[in-house]
Every structure is written in C-alpha cells, then in structure tokens.
Amino acid sequence: MSEALDWNKNIIKEFRENEGKVGGPFEGGSLLLLTTVGAKSGEPRTSPLAYGQEDGKYIVAASYAGADKNPAWYHNIVANPKVTVEVGTEKFEATATVVLEDRAERDRLYALMTSLMPGFADYEQKTDRVIPIVTISR
C-alpha cells in the first residue's frame, strides 16, 4: 500500500474514532470524509477532505496538493455524482457537482477555500491545471 493511502487510512480511522476530530495538519480545521464509487472498480473509496460551507452546501477543492493531475476521488464523482459524506458524527447521502464551466463561480469558491485554508493558494501555484471545485448537496 502506498504511503498516501496509509496516511489517508490513518486519518479516516482517527476521524471515526474521535467524532470527526483529528490532529496533525488538520487539527482545528474542517474535515469531512467523502465516500465515492470507484469509476473503474465500482468499489467504495473514502477520502478525507478539507471543506468550506456556503448556502447549506459543502465545498471541496480537487487540489491533490497541487499535483498536475486531479485526485482519484474527482474522477469517481464525475463518473458517479452520488456520494456519502461524514461530518462530525453525521453521515448522509449527497450529490456532488463540479463547478468548472462557470469560471467566475469556480474562482469565487476557490478564493473562499483559500481564505479558510491558505495552503490552497500554494497548491494553485504548483500546477498549471485549473483546480476543480466541487459542491456537495444533501
């Protein structure tokens, strides 16, 4: 198993054992668990993601820490936008929507993410791709 998968697995375990609270780089931040259906495998895949909120929607960035490709979870929601979200002790079904076509809206929401977590500005500087924003609605 890769180092990144081990790291995610540990964050997910800590999240579930501590009612949605984790330490390390996410301590004090807003973290959710997003479970998607694998685009190729059809298997459930869970990813811990930093999030913002607006108008009852959760907002996440497919930043992949500034890598030159989108994260696997992004490809999964493009293939199947029905997801499961865990926030704190709550778990619910939701629909993920990519905000990329409306560039002004995407930029506005990315700026919101950057205001909450300044590291997102660094991710944008590391890559030439436009980092997609995804909204998640119940």
User: How does pLDDT run across 30-68, given as a tens digit for each residue?
Assistant: 999 999 999 999 999 999 999 999 999 999 999 999 999
pLDDT at 16 over 90: yes
- Dihedral of CA atoms 42, 48, 51, 53 in degrees, nearest 10, equals 60
Range 3-20 average pLDDT: 86
Q: What are the residues whose beta carbons fall under 8 Å from the beta carbon of 131, sequence distance 6 or more?
A: 61, 62, 63, 110, 123, 124
Range 6-34 average pLDDT: 88
Q: How many domains does the chain have?
A: 1
CATH number for position 86: 2.30.110.10
User: How does pLDDT run across 58-72, given as a tens digit for each residue?
Assistant: 999 999 999 999 999
pLDDT at 27 over 90: no
Domain that holds residue 70: 3-137
SS3 state of residue 70: coil
- In this prediction, residue 1 carries a pLDDT of 47
